A and B are shown apart, each in its own frame.
Chain A
Amino acid sequence: NAGVTQTPKFRVLKTGQSMTLLCAQDMNHEYMYWYRQDPGMGLRLIHYSVGEGTTAKGEVPDGYNVSRLKKQNFLLGLESAAPSQTSVYFCASSYRTSWETQYFGPGTRLLVL
């Protein structure tokens, strides 16, 4: 099993550009999450999904959109990137509930100039 994978690993964007981050898991997990990690701050939840076709906002959803068209994939979109979105983005998944063990992807480092 590959576990949780993220694409790309690193990306540089100019302000106003758009991009999509892909998260994939092969563990048949129902729950998937997108977090951002910034220096001096804990991980913060952007959006999450409790199953295929469903998404919900987390703590810091502004400027991001998500889609979960297939159970194994969770996409994070930035429609118009801003320097404040420079961060490391982590995807995670858990089996059937939100409180059980989460499995994290390796992270995507995004720099917005």
Chain B
Amino acid sequence: KNEVEQSPQNLTAQEGEFITINCSYSVGISALHWLQQHPGGGIVSLFMLSSGKKKHGRLIATINIQEKHSSLHITASHPRDSAVYICAAHEITGNQFYFGTGTSLTVIP
């Protein structure tokens, strides 16, 4: 069973395009995280959400708790945004995250 589903799996965009990555989860959560994994393998945390919307530079993350859905938006995409974006849901009843399989984004100049 997959507690966290992401779509699309792969995404190619032209520089400057608006990008949306979707995440659906099936568990009750205390927090929803978006992570970025660079081509070299390093993983960094982008956002932590429990409600509403957060913005950092060109990145925007939203969450709808009732629908168990979150989106990550990238405005004015740039080749340096090329990476794998991972959604992770922290289950409310324990100490565990459930991770999506990631969305591989390639931004072409």
Spell out A's residues near B (CB within 8 Å). 31, 40-45, 48, 50, 56, 58-59, 88, 90, 92, 98-104, 106-107
- Bitwise, B88-102 to A at CB < 8 A (1) or not (0) is 101000111111111
| Known contacts A98-B90, A102-B45, A107-B42: A42-B96 contact under CB 8 Å | no
Q: Are A100 and B95 within 8 A (Cβ)?
A: no
B43 contacts A42, C-beta separation under 8 Å: no
Interface contact B33-A98, CB-CB below 8 Å: no
| B48 closest partner in A (C-beta) | A101
Residues of A within 8 A of B48 (CB): 99-101
Find A48's partner among B4, B45, B95 (CB 8 Å cutoff).
Answer: B95
The answer to the question of B60 belonging to the interface, with a C-beta cut-off of 8 Å to chain A, is no
Known: A59-B96, A100-B31. A42 touches B41 (CB 8 A): no
Given A42-B86, A42-B98, check contact A99 B45 (CB 8 Å). Answer: no
B-side contacts of A103, CB under 8 Å:
45
CA distance A67 to B98 in the complex (A): 23
Per the 8 Å Cβ criterion, residues 10-45 of B in contact with A are: 30-31, 33, 41-45
Instruction: Show 9 residue pairs from A and B whose CB-CB distance is below 8 angstroms, ordered by the A residue.
Output: A42-B99, A42-B102, A50-B95, A90-B43, A98-B96, A99-B48, A102-B33, A104-B44, A107-B41
Main secondary structure of the interface of A (DSSP, over half): loop
Assess the A99–B90 pair: CB atoms within 8 A: yes
Cα(A98)–Cα(B90), bound, Å: 8
Minimum Cβ distance to chain A for residue B106 (Å): 18
A contact residues around B102 at 8 Å (CB)? 42
Residue pair B43, A101 in contact (C-beta under 8 Å): no
Task: Evaluate contact between B41 and A88: CB separation under 8 angstroms.
Answer: yes
**How far is it, in angstroms, between the C-alpha of A100 and the C-alpha of B95 when the chains are bound?**
11
Q: Shortest CB–CB separation between residue A15 and chain B, in angstroms?
A: 25
- Considering the chains assembled together, what is the distance between the CA atoms of A92 and B33 in angstroms? 14
